[in-house]
Amino acid sequence: MEKYLTDLVSPGTVIRDVGVMQHTSTGYRAAGKRIATVPTMGALHEGHLELIRRARRLADIVVVSIFVNPTQFAPEEDLDKYPRPFEQDVALAFREGADCIFAPAAQDMFPAGFDTGVSVEKASRPLEGAFRPTHFRGVATVVAKLVNITQPNIVVFGQKDGQQTVVVRRMLRDLNFPIDLVVVPTVRDSDGLALSSRNVYLNPEQRREAPVLFESLALARELIRHGERSCAAILHAMRALIESKSSALIDYVSIADMDTLDEVNNLHEGNSIMISLAVRFGSTRLIDNIHVQL
Amino acid sequence: MEKYLTDLVSPGTVIRDVGVMQHTSTGYRAAGKRIATVPTMGALHEGHLELIRRARRLADIVVVSIFVNPTQFAPEEDLDKYPRPFEQDVALAFREGADCIFAPAAQDMFPAGFDTGVSVEKASRPLEGAFRPTHFRGVATVVAKLVNITQPNIVVFGQKDGQQTVVVRRMLRDLNFPIDLVVVPTVRDSDGLALSSRNVYLNPEQRREAPVLFESLALARELIRHGERSCAAILHAMRALIESKSSALIDYVSIADMDTLDEVNNLHEGNSIMISLAVRFGSTRLIDNIHVQL
């Protein structure tokens, strides 16, 4: 079926084998091609497609990886039910111009005896890390593997996973990977809800209330624009707005330095901040963030 | 002085800057050259020179890194007094055919805000890891950096640091670095003492007794050759021999599986084992090991 789809949709290739992918990338690089890799967990939506389109403009060869990385899920999280519409993903990625799709099996990425982890220490601790203590180690490790396998000049990530972009940037820089990180702005539904593969879990009431994440971020931006400099005041207003929605339960709301993720108490000219939050709707946990440059 | 030495000794170059080194290696790779990197902490002896000679035979370009990596020393260890005969090292490396020497400053390898670690978990715990709990994290992290900076096809390590070769092999494989690890047999003095930059710390009595490390390994090999299959019996004999030297204090003596470093109790046909030990002479700690394939 894969082969059929591949033939039908595009001249691209679905590569399952780690060695074949690495060999293919080595060939591209030896031929002087510029590679952009777009790491995804599949369940592609318009946000991912925007990443692929950006990669298409920046490189000769676009590799889209589709891999639901088990090591970034905690035991109680949604690994098993995470959506995997693989054939649709393949068709979408090729439609947007992917040259090849790398879709390895978990046992080939993490075979028996696998023993190595890549950790970004400080940047992994707050925010998502406080709720998902093993998550970013899983992310940093799999990104290190994916870039070694696909050998890109550029990797493309979405701003929606804001802390992830900070962790990945830090990891790439600290370990001297000769790779540029490109971060693409979050794609939103018309009501402001950030696109996410987890939005499909929301029931109708939750879906109606979920735009409050972005509304609270927009409120924060407005307050800052009107001169508010106390982060406590901004966070208080954001929380009040979110708590007005009966199905929303706040995990955190944060105003942090964009590079270090240290919480900020008072805003000053020149601050580059990430305002971010995680809110649960029933068992579905959504995150969102914006940057503000003062 | 560096420049002078460089001009005098060879057409090679001493590169201090991380970006220049990476750029240089990118250029070599783009030109289709095969690169071998020999990571060292300097204080080069005949063992290191053997690594460089092997690299010379395997690659078009030989990069020798000289970097006393602070992150693999614990606070109480010998970072400050570790020998650094830099100009002699440069002359020796070029004499043996190095094309360039990469000698970065510690603050360029680990600048303020550095936040990333690479850990090989299980293989870092026993043997040296039990005595130096942060050591292999420091090693794995700096090797990941050095290979990303120097971009080799091959890295060359000495067998003398046996567990290090296991940890580095595991890390390169687990993270899919497209790099072959070449391990070169230990070079020994005429009395069997493995060459080590730390041998210079030994006083005359300790130096006379230090060959007991290799003698005990040779004894183990003989016992196995004559049919001994109980590791307890072999280890007992090794310990007795070492303890006959008044200046020697054993940290550990071990018979472990070559790949997993799990201790082995009874030897069987087909076992691939590393017999290893660490012995202190005053404040100087020496290690040695041999492979035995049954």
Q: Among B85, B28, B36, which residue's Cα sits nearest to residue B64?
A: B36
Enter the DSSP assignment of B187: P
Cα first-last separation, chain A: 52
pLDDT of residue A7: 39
Place B270 in a pLDDT band, splitting at 50, 70 and 90: very high
pLDDT of residue A10: 43
pLDDT of residue B12: 75
pLDDT of residue A12: 75
Q: Enumerate the residues of chain A whose CB falls inside 8 A of the CB of residue B177.
A: 148
pLDDT at B11 exceeding the cut of 90? no
Q: Among A194, A138, A134, which residue's Cα sits nearest to residue A162?
A: A194
pLDDT at B73 exceeding the cut of 70? yes
Which residue of chain A comes nearest to B32, CA vs CA?
A30
What predicted TM-score, i.e. pTM, was given to this entire model? 0.94
In angstroms, the CA B286 to CA B251 distance is 10
CB-based contact, B287 to chain A, within 8 Å: no
In angstroms, the CA A147 to CA B283 distance is 43
Residues of B labelled catalytic: 48
Any residues with CB less than 8 A from the CB of A130 and at least 6 apart, and which? Answer: A252
CA B173 to chain A, closest CA, distance in angstroms equals 9
Place B86 in a pLDDT band, splitting at 50, 70 and 90: very high
- Give the residue ranges of DSSP H helices in chain B: 2-9, 18-30, 46-58, 86-95, 106-109, 128-131, 135-150, 162-174, 204-209, 212-225, 231-243
pLDDT at B9 exceeding the cut of 50? no
Please judge whether B175 and A148 are an interchain contact, meaning their C-beta atoms are less than 8 angstroms apart. Answer: yes
Per-residue pLDDT tens digits for B183-236: 999 999 999 999 998 999 999 999 999 999 999 999 999 999 999 999 999 999
Place B10 in a pLDDT band, splitting at 50, 70 and 90: very low
In angstroms, the CA B8 to CA A255 distance is 58
Cross-sheet strand order for the sheet of B272-281 = B248-257, B272-281, B284-293
Per-residue pLDDT tens digits for B205-219: 999 999 999 999 999
pLDDT at B6 exceeding the cut of 60? no
Which residue of chain A comes nearest to B117, CA vs CA?
A119
Best of A148, A155, A257 to mutate (most B CBs within 10 Å, chain B): A148
Q: Among A218, A167, A175, A160, which residue's Cα sits nearest to residue A41?
A: A160
Best of B29, B149, B176 to mutate (most A CBs within 10 Å, chain A): B176
Average pLDDT over residues B149-171: 98
In angstroms, the CA A121 to CA B187 distance is 38
Which residue of chain A comes nearest to B25, CA vs CA?
A178
Structural tokens at position A260 = 């270090």
pLDDT at B256 exceeding the cut of 50? yes
Which residue of chain B comes nearest to A110, CA vs CA?
B174
Please judge whether A174 and B114 are an interchain contact, meaning their C-beta atoms are less than 8 angstroms apart. Answer: yes
Please judge whether A116 and B171 are an interchain contact, meaning their C-beta atoms are less than 8 angstroms apart. Answer: yes
Q: Which of B32, B115, B170 sits opposite A174 (nearest CB)?
A: B115
CB-based contact, A26 to chain B, within 8 Å: yes
In angstroms, the CA B88 to CA A165 distance is 44
Please judge whether A116 and B140 are an interchain contact, meaning their C-beta atoms are less than 8 angstroms apart. Answer: yes
Q: Among A61, A59, A62, which residue's Cα sits nearest to residue A49?
A: A62
Q: Which of B32, B115, B145 sits opposite A123 (nearest CB)?
A: B115
Q: Enumerate the residues of chain A whose CB falls inside 8 A of the CB of residue B259.
A: 113
What 3 state SS string does A98-153 have? CCEEECCCHHHHCCCCCCEEEEECHHHCCCHHHHCCCHHHHHHHHHHHHHHHHCCC
Please judge whether A116 and B170 are an interchain contact, meaning their C-beta atoms are less than 8 angstroms apart. Answer: yes
CB-based contact, A140 to chain B, within 8 Å: yes
Structural tokens at position B43 = 């204080």
Secondary-structure percent of chain A, ordered helix, strand, coil, rounded to 5: 45, 25, 35
pLDDT of residue B159: 97
Best of A33, A108, A115, A134 to mutate (most B CBs within 10 Å, chain B): A115
In chain A (294 residues long), the average pLDDT of successive 10-residue segments reads: 38 89 94 96 97 98 97 91 94 96 98 97 97 97 98 98 97 98 98 95 97 98 98 98 97 96 96 97 97 95
Rounded to 5°, the CA angle A114-A120-A123 comes to 145
Q: Enumerate the residues of chain A whose CB falls inside 8 A of the CB of residue B149.
A: 176
Which residue of chain A comes nearest to B123, CA vs CA?
A115
Spelled out in words, what is the top-level CATH class assigned to the domain B197-293? alpha beta
Per-residue pLDDT tens digits for A44-91: 999 999 999 999 999 999 999 999 999 999 998 889 989 999 999 999
Q: Are A9 and A92 in contact (CB under 8 A)?
A: no
CA A114 to chain B, closest CA, distance in angstroms equals 6
Q: Enumerate the residues of chain B whose CB falls inside 8 A of the CB of residue A120.
A: 115-116
Please judge whether A174 and B118 are an interchain contact, meaning their C-beta atoms are less than 8 angstroms apart. Answer: no
Averaged pLDDT score across all residues of chain B: 94
pLDDT of residue A43: 95
Please judge whether B116 and A151 are an interchain contact, meaning their C-beta atoms are less than 8 angstroms apart. Answer: no
Please judge whether A26 and B121 are an interchain contact, meaning their C-beta atoms are less than 8 angstroms apart. Answer: no
CB-based contact, B46 to chain A, within 8 Å: no
Q: Enumerate the residues of chain B whose CB falls inside 8 A of the CB of residue A123.
A: 115
Which residue of chain B comes nearest to A120, CA vs CA?
B116
In chain A, list all ranges with CATH 3.30.1300.10: 197-293
In chain B, list all ranges with CATH 3.40.50.620: 2-184
Q: Which of A26, A30, A119 sits opposite B116 (nearest CB)?
A: A119
Residue A263 CB-density burial (10 A; 0-12 exposed, 13-18 middle, 19+ buried): middle
pLDDT of residue A60: 97
Average pLDDT over residues B144-155: 98
In angstroms, the CA A26 to CA B290 distance is 36
Average pLDDT over residues B141-149: 98
CA A68 to chain B, closest CA, distance in angstroms equals 17
- The neighbouring-strand residues paired with A154 are A36, A180
CB-based contact, A169 to chain B, within 8 Å: no
CATH 3.40.50.620 holds for B2-184:
yes
Please judge whether B178 and A26 are an interchain contact, meaning their C-beta atoms are less than 8 angstroms apart. Answer: yes
pLDDT of residue A11: 56
pLDDT at B4 exceeding the cut of 60? no
What 3 state SS string does B50-77 have? HHHHHHHHHCCEEEEEECCCHHHCCCCC
Average pLDDT over residues B45-67: 98
